[in-house]
Amino acid sequence: MSSGQTVLVAHKSKLYALDATTFQSKWTFPNSTGDKISPTALYGTPAVDAGIVFIPAYNGKLYAVDLNTGKSKWASPFNTGEKLVGGVLATGGKVYFGSSNSKVYALNGANGEKLWSYTTGKEVWSTPVLSGTTLLVTSLDGSLYGLDAASGEKLWSFKTAAGLAASPALDPSGNTVYVAGFDSRLRAIDTSTHQERWAASGDNWFWGTPLVAGGAVFAGALDNKIYAFDTSTGDAHWSRPFEADAPVRAAVVMAGNVVLAVDRKGHVYALSPEDGSMSPGKALNLNAKVTADPLVLSNGQVLISTTGGEMIRIDPTRLEIVSRTKLGS
């Protein structure tokens, strides 16, 4: 993720804070000189609020470090006891995240003190989103929960047919939330009535967070396809889904005027949001495995981190590699 002049990229058990212009390393977490921290691995996307970076780690702990220095901000990390796979939502001095212990937590961002927790039926591997004062969070128990962001009280829930690992995506109006899951369905749920507006099917699980843009909702699936549905009806927005070369685990993003998607084998596709046609006519092959979500930088370029620890900058309009850097080198 990026925050002002800093880009944060995780690889294995290390988080790299890089200068957004030069891509030079500012600091790493844990640092190489002192901290006796062993985060095991970093899966979830970190978040920044009030100059603090919140880092969810696979060892079950949430760390808070200074955005400029990388020094710990809390006396000790918050330990949930089970692996953290999803990302963090940090806003208004509060931190929201889910854990594999099935709980959703709200902490005080300044000191890591627990404000509340809510227990779902299974692991929470997604990143919560805020819709007004309601925290929306999905769980592997197959439910979308609407929790009161202040107290953690359950306001409503919507049950689907299988697990939900993808984070929910909110319509810009805030009236509809889109959830995609292991039942191979993408659903539009009304945030006021909590009823399903429509559901559209894919041929395998949806894992990446859907993208809502220009009256359509886009989602990659593990059946090697990228789908586009009309936000109001759920009808196919394209004449047929786009066929990728491999499962699409990472979220699709809007980069300039193209929908950019990366499949698991590292093929990058720039698609027209209108008809799903490929912009330069062919995919860009990174020759690397990719599962992390691409990041759109402030200059319009897209940053893709590979599972092998490479950081690749792409020009989405021409679909060309701008730079390729090995993390830690």
- Which parts of this chain interact with other proteins (CB under 8 A)? 43, 85, 122-123, 125, 140, 161-163, 165, 182-184, 203-205, 207, 222, 247, 249, 264, 291
User: Are the CB atoms for 52 and 66 separated by under 8 Å?
Assistant: yes
User: Are the CB atoms for 144 and 184 separated by under 8 Å?
Assistant: no
Least distance (Å) from other proteins to the CB of residue 154?
Answer: 21
Least distance (Å) from other proteins to the CB of residue 183?
Answer: 5
Least distance (Å) from other proteins to the CB of residue 279?
Answer: 27
Rounded to whole angstroms, the Cα distance separating 166 from 98 reads 12
The pair of structure tokens assigned to 208 is 């990446």
Least distance (Å) from other proteins to the CB of residue 33?
Answer: 30
Least distance (Å) from other proteins to the CB of residue 220?
Answer: 12
Q: What angle do CA 239, 242, 245 make, to 5 degrees?
A: 155
Rounded to whole angstroms, the Cα distance separating 5 from 133 reads 30
Rounded to whole angstroms, the Cα distance separating 288 from 46 reads 23
- Whose Cβ is closer to other proteins: residue 82's or residue 148's? 82
- Whose Cβ is closer to other proteins: residue 28's or residue 224's? 224
- Whose Cβ is closer to other proteins: residue 265's or residue 324's? 265
Query: What b-and-e string marks burial along 278-292, b requiring 16 or more CB atoms within 10 Å of the CB?
Result: ebeeebbebebebeb
- Whose Cβ is closer to other proteins: residue 63's or residue 182's? 182
- Whose Cβ is closer to other proteins: residue 106's or residue 252's? 252
The pair of structure tokens assigned to 146 is 């609407």
Rounded to whole angstroms, the Cα distance separating 232 from 240 reads 18
